[in-house]
Structure 1
Amino acid sequence: MSFPWANQYQPKNPVMRWVDERLPLPRLVYNAVGAGYPVPRNLNYFWNFGVLAGVALTIQIVTGIVLAMHYAANADIAFLSVEHIMRDVNAGWLLRYAHATGASMFFIVVYIHIFRGLYYGSYKAPREMVWLLGVVIFLLMMATAFMGYVLPWGQMSFWGAQVITGFFSAIPVVGESVRVWLLGGFAPGDASLNRFFSLHYLLPFVIAGVIILHIWALHIPGSSNPTGVDVKGEQDTVPFHPYYTAKDGVGVGVFLLVFAVILFFAPNYLGHSDNYIPANPLSTPAHIVPEWYFWPFYAILRAFTFNFLWIPAKLWGVLAMFASILLLFFLPWIDSSPVRSGKYRPTFRIFFGILILDILVLGWCGGSPATPGYVITGQIAAIYYFAHFLIILPIISRTERPRPLPNSITEAVLAKKGGSPADSTLAAE
């Protein structure tokens, strides 16, 4: 999927030409995100969310570096150092709220990016490696976000660390040793803060590195598209610049507008009020919950309330929580349908909608108190979640009758606009 001139780029500026001959960075940028990178011509706005994830990560790294200059990873003064940032550091309140709100925005963007991939079959061959690296990025995001949630050292930070790391103790033989190793002691304290702060600072740069691999893997087969059919020729593509740089620019503008509205008018809406109370090991909050983006997984964790097959309920919960994410690694092989896009899979589309509803129910249960009603609802939703990937999806992929696919991307675009395939040459020009 390339234009004849894609690898013949020569900078016009003499200085850039000199640099390109010795370090072909201008050529690399041109072929990666410029006119030298051909992209399917029918990408919709759901394809903006990859770029938006990069913008969100940049915000997190920049604000995090500045915040680290003023934060103290010490149990005695960690909470006070955060208050110092909010009250005494110039624009500290803006940096702190931008970092906290940015984490939520990052997860919103990434969740939409994941669901787009699920619906349009972006995990199918030949893009399995792109998908697998994306799941690795998601796991690194979750680890980074959890450790960042501990750093303010409020009530929810302390007890969140206590509860979540406590689940590792359910692992037979080595569980308690792993928990002590993670915390640096038998309870969250100075050692925990130093460990979590160090890793929280480091992991975003690791995420950035894996994102580079993610993009590199994407450029080998090329971008997927809403029809799921392969590119047949140059008539099916347009240069990334200026067409999709302009389209991504619109998406970035909308993203920053929404981000600014939340940042300036509701910066604490996505957080928890208990985290503005200093950590107190002697006072347990009435309702311990993680951040909202962990709620579905927390509901799965809490779904096991009794021992089964001599395995404690706590361990079943831990295994189920990790399995709910690890399932995504095997998705390219679980779904064996030759059709990629959900647009042409009517049965898949129905169950995909049910899956989204099921995950929303899991999130609702995970953020609610552990009363019998919420726990039972969460158990039912957790059962359906695993059934979707392990039972329903394999059956659908072998039995459903998909709608006829278009012969090419150009044919699908022209049909949508009321044209005909005979116009494809004219459209390409």
Structure 2
Amino acid sequence: MSFPWAKHYAPTNPLMKWMDERLPVPRLVYNAVGAGYPVPRNLNYFWNFGVLAGAALGIQIITGIVLAMHYAANGGVAFDSVEHIMRDVNAGWFLRYAHANGASMFFIVVYLHIFRGLYYGSYKAPREMVWLLGVVIFLLMMATAFMGYVLPWGQMSFWGAQVITGFFSAIPGVGETIRVWLLGGFAPDDAALNRFFSLHYVLPFVIAAVIILHIWALHIPGSNNPTGVEVKGEQDTVPFHPYYTAKDGFGLGIFLLVFAGLLFFYPNYLGHPDNYIPANALSTPAHIVPEWYFWPFYAILRAFTADFILPAKLWGVLAMFGSILLLFFLPWLDSSPVRSNNFRPKARIAFWILVLDVLVLGYCGGSPADPAYVIASQIASIYYFAHFLIILPMISRSERPLPLPNSITEAVLAKHGGTSPAQTALSTQS
């Protein structure tokens, strides 16, 4: 989408002119986050989460680079090297806790970002590619986080790697070969640590590259907005800077305050006590769980307990991966022309039931595999897939949406008690 009313970069300083002619980085920044990039004037604070995710990734990359200077990817000393970082490296405790809790903060803002996209229909045309690249980023995050969780080489790290990679062996024919290839052996050991460490170090830079594509894809159609109505003119937009840089700055301040509170007062709250015990291949923990941000998918994995044509273990693996891959098809599963759930009463109810369902899955995934939690996981898993494959397509075909505003400006003025251009024209004629 082109914005003919957007301001164009016109340097006046001789040095900036020279730079712009040879390496137009200032022009790129100006058009990406400056006054040269118009955005809908009605964006709320739910549009902060993209910037917050970028800030969280920056924290992870910076702290991860420094931690890698002191970490040893060797089964005999990996746990001790983490203790060395915590006790002997200057500010090592701060870097380690910032990296560990930064991963949780990263997933929190990304989950909020995803659910915001689900609520406001940001996956719909013409923004399908933005959504698809976002799902790719999410998959890369999950792979990076899993490998990072193994590196401290505590009890939960070791057994998490053992259990999760063990599920690949359920794939007929090639499963065990894939598992051995992933681990570099028949059980997690030095080879697995070296592989996971290398990939854990590289993947954040891959994520950063895909984020650049994600932002590039976003700048072609422009941002979605709470009404889901497309921009119709200059009156519907404001420059990204200073309006949304200030808004994002406020959101970033809140994010850093929450992050600091977690980091300085509850640094181990989101971790597992067993991971402060050195890995022991001869002692299985009573309750093996992944990090909290994997709990909903872990609950789906454990929901299959009986063989039906295929082994239950294979069904669980297929369902776990399918629950994420399903998001790739969402732009075509929801055929409603209306984007925002603000104007879709039935879809809005289904959305909040989905939110509750994911929370139930998360709770069950972090709980012991008792029969009550397994049954709850099965019910919640059925609803999760039914929401995307049955309920949402049916609603999109049968629902009668509420009337949409004629423009973003009209919606803003109506919300704040102003007069829309249409109302002004009517009053003038009368």
Aligned residues: 424
Matched, 1:231 2:228: no
SS in 1 for 2:386: helix
Deviation for aligned residue 1:243:
0.2
Matches within 5 A, 1:162-241: 162-241=162-241
SS in 1 for 2:389: helix
Residues in 2 aligned to 1:249 and 1:289: alpha-carbon distance in whole angstroms: 36
Residues in 1 aligned to 2:388 and 2:210: alpha-carbon distance in whole angstroms: 26
Q: Give the aligned partner of residue 253 of structure 1.
A: 253
Residues in 2 aligned to 1:34 and 1:363: alpha-carbon distance in whole angstroms: 39
Matches within 5 A, 1:6-155: 6=6, 8-155=8-155
Q: Single out whichever of 13-22 and 223-232 deviates more from structure 2.
A: 13-22
Q: Give the aligned partner of residue 303 of structure 2.
A: 303
Matches within 5 A, 1:386-401: 386-401=385-400
Q: Give the aligned partner of residue 265 of structure 1.
A: 265
Q: What is the TM-score with the length of structure 2 in the denominator?
A: 0.97
Residues in 2 aligned to 1:5 and 1:111: alpha-carbon distance in whole angstroms: 34
Q: Any unmatched runs of 5+ in structure 2?
A: 425-430
Deviations 1:174-207 (A, max 9, x none): 0000000000000000000000000000000000
Residues in 1 aligned to 2:112 and 2:295: alpha-carbon distance in whole angstroms: 16
Instruction: Answer whether contact 2:60 2:103 (CA < 8 A) is retained.
Output: yes
Residues 224/109 of structure 1: CA separation in 2 closer, same or farther (3 Å cut): same
Structure 2 counterpart of 1:201, one-letter code: Y
SS in 1 for 2:39: strand
Q: Single out whichever of 204-213 and 5-14 deviates more from structure 2.
A: 5-14
Instruction: Answer whether contact 1:156 1:274 (CA < 8 A) is retained.
Output: yes
Residues in 1 aligned to 2:261 and 2:269: alpha-carbon distance in whole angstroms: 12
Structure 2 counterpart of 1:317, one-letter code: G
Residues in 2 aligned to 1:424 and 1:20: alpha-carbon distance in whole angstroms: 45
Matched, 1:332 2:331: yes
User: After TM superposition, what 4+ stretches of structure 1 lie above 2 angstroms from structure 2?
Assistant: 1-8, 422-425
Deviation for aligned residue 1:424:
9.8
Matched, 1:354 2:353: yes
Residues in 2 aligned to 1:14 and 1:5: alpha-carbon distance in whole angstroms: 26
Deviation for aligned residue 1:45:
0.1
SS in 2 for 1:401: coil
Residues in 2 aligned to 1:413 and 1:89: alpha-carbon distance in whole angstroms: 53
Deviation for aligned residue 1:15:
1.2
Deviation for aligned residue 1:17:
1.4
Instruction: Answer whether contact 1:304 1:314 (CA < 8 A) is retained.
Output: yes
SS in 2 for 1:268: coil
Instruction: Answer whether contact 1:121 1:340 (CA < 8 A) is retained.
Output: yes
Residues in 2 aligned to 1:152 and 1:259: alpha-carbon distance in whole angstroms: 22
Q: Give the aligned partner of residue 282 of structure 2.
A: 282
Residues in 1 aligned to 2:423 and 2:164: alpha-carbon distance in whole angstroms: 57
Instruction: Answer whether contact 1:229 1:409 (CA < 8 A) is retained.
Output: yes
SS in 1 for 2:280: coil
Residues in 1 aligned to 2:236 and 2:137: alpha-carbon distance in whole angstroms: 30
Residues in 2 aligned to 1:180 and 1:343: alpha-carbon distance in whole angstroms: 49
Residues in 2 aligned to 1:424 and 1:162: alpha-carbon distance in whole angstroms: 66
Structure 2 counterpart of 1:55, one-letter code: A
Q: Give the aligned partner of residue 413 of structure 1.
A: 412
Deviation for aligned residue 1:160:
0.1
Q: Give the aligned partner of residue 311 of structure 2.
A: 312
Instruction: Answer whether contact 2:5 2:234 (CA < 8 A) is retained.
Output: no
Residues in 2 aligned to 1:307 and 1:6: alpha-carbon distance in whole angstroms: 60
Deviation for aligned residue 1:12:
2.4
